[in-house]
Amino acid sequence: MHDTLENVNDSTVSGLGRLARFFGFSDVMGRLYGTLLLSPNPLSLDELAGTLEISKGSVSMNMRDLERWGMAKEVWVRGDRRKFYAAESDMWQIIRSVLGSREQREVQVALQVLGESIEKLQAAEDELTPEEQELARYYLGRMADLQSLFQFAQLALHAILGNGESLNFDAVTRIEID
Amino acid sequence: MHDTLENVNDSTVSGLGRLARFFGFSDVMGRLYGTLLLSPNPLSLDELAGTLEISKGSVSMNMRDLERWGMAKEVWVRGDRRKFYAAESDMWQIIRSVLGSREQREVQVALQVLGESIEKLQAAEDELTPEEQELARYYLGRMADLQSLFQFAQLALHAILGNGESLNFDAVTRIEID
DNA sequence: CCTTTGTTTCAAAACGTTTTGAACGAAGGG
DNA sequence: CCCTTCGTTCAAAACGTTTTGAAACAAAGG
């Protein structure tokens, strides 16, 4: 295969590995996704293992995760018993899937815990010594700061995720914050 | 100290550890920041090591990183040779610092690499066999997909970072995507 | 200067994560 | 049925990261 094609393939695959890492996935997941993305045809487990030079076991486990996140799907090839995989090509859907389930839940939990902390601090006021009361007030101030931060994150996520519409990248041209 | 105060402290500190991890920092950095955030007074290196039950060496190194990212600052106490630290309380500034330098650079690099790949593919067209040409065209399609994705990320970062104005959380109320 | 107190550095150890490969299971085909 | 091919699982090994603690260093104060 021509050098240029190989170079482009390499840098894309390793770049997607890096991106996967950044989002808290494994490097291998990103590389598998990249390999599939740059393959016009679906690839078998053995082909993936061969191309990336990793064990079949690793491919098997990581492909399962990729499927769980909707980043790849199985493709059935008539008359072939093997599993073939293709990359999910709608990247916006992948972003939505990750931001919408994982990230949104994180923010949700954080806000929940903060809310509970605030309630507990307020409820306990009577039992506190004067010094403790002062500290409790201080804590309440910091809790409020953290709350604003996570509320902002929630707003940003909602804005990006929209109201359930699928969103074409090329149509995304303006984001505004007041 | 009252149970409620300890519980709130614990969950905040460990929550910030989690958040730090999420952003690719060390757990300890987040916990140190949390401890400082919930302390009305600046804390010394030994107090931090004692509170979090980690070694002084670890505190020393992680506090340096916190300072590098502008998440904490030294506070000089008259007549005391020790270093005292306080959390940077403007969280928006921290977000700006992280998104603006680290994340933005990542996106920048990705776009750069993609651009180069596209150029290389176009430049090499003449040297390719017909099959390779077909693959090259396929690659160009995928490169374009990735480009849109990173361009979107760039837009989102710009929107959040604004044009250099400092941004009050409570004033952030609307993000729009068309 | 020397001592004391505080901080930084860094190699070794502890720890956690990822990868492997062999064993097992499943699913045809002969 | 047995044999072959493919996929999955999981314990052990490899690997990478984080933590520690001791030694070096720095900065007063006596």
pLDDT average per 10 residues of sequence, chain B (178 residues): 93 97 95 98 96 97 96 92 94 91 94 97 94 96 96 90 50 38
CB-based contact B177 A172, cutoff 8 Å: yes
| Triad A153, A158, A162: Cα angle to 5° | 155
A-B Cβ pairs (cutoff 8 Å, strict): 164
Mean pLDDT of chain A: 90
**Nearest nucleotide by C1' position to the A58 CA atom:** C19
Find all residues with CB under 8 Å of A1, minimum gap 6, and list them: B132
* CB-neighbour burial class of residue A5 (10 A; exposed 0-12, middle 13-18, buried 19+): buried
Give distance CA A57 / C1' D13 (Å). Answer: 15
Q: List the one residue out of A48, A50, A4, A9 whose CA is nearest residue A29.
A: A48
For A114, nearest residue in chain B (alpha carbons): B12
Q: List the one residue out of A88, A69, A154, A95 whose CA is nearest residue B149.
A: A95
DSSP-assigned beta bridge partners for residue B154: none
CB A85 within 8 A of CB A73: yes
For B174, nearest residue in chain A (alpha carbons): A177
Is any Cβ of chain A less than 8 angstroms from the Cβ of B169?
yes
Report the 10 Å Cβ neighbour count for A94.
19
Query: Which helix (H) or strand (E) is B11 found in, with range?
Result: helix B3-22
Find all residues with CB under 8 Å of B148, minimum gap 6, and list them: A91, A169, A170
Interface probe for A, chosen from B9, B71, B152, B167 (most Cβ of A below 10 Å), is: B152
A68 touches strand D (CB under 7 A): no
pLDDT tens digit sequence for A26-83 = 999 999 999 999 999 999 999 999 999 999 999 999 999 999 999 999 999 988 989 9
Joined together, the tokens standing for residue B71 give 């998440």
Interface probe for B, chosen from A118, A145, A152 (most Cβ of B below 10 Å), is: A152
Residues 16 through 35 of chain A touching chain B, CB cutoff 8 Å: 19, 22, 24
Nearest-angstrom CA–CA distance, B37 and B41: 9
Instruction: Name the one residue in this structure whose structure tokens are 């997607």.
Output: A16
Give distance CA B81 / C1' C6 (Å). Answer: 7
Give distance CA A141 / C1' D17 (Å). Answer: 35
What pLDDT is attached to residue A165?
Answer: 45
Whether the predicted pLDDT of A164 surpasses 70: no
Work out the widest C-alpha separation in chain A, in whole angstroms.
Answer: 78
Q: Which of A100-104, A128-132, B70-74, B156-160 has the lowest mean pLDDT?
A: B156-160
Chain B contacts of A38, Cβ < 8 Å? 138-139, 142
**Residues listed for chain B:** 178
Instruction: Name the one residue in this structure whose structure tokens are 């150029």.
Output: B119
Nearest to B152 among A110, A143, A172 (CB): A172
- Amino acid occupying residue B94: I
A64 touches strand D (CB under 7 A): yes
What pLDDT is attached to residue A69?
Answer: 94
Is any Cβ of chain B less than 8 angstroms from the Cβ of A144?
no
pLDDT tens digit sequence for A1-20 = 889 999 999 999 999 999 99
What pLDDT is attached to residue A160?
Answer: 84
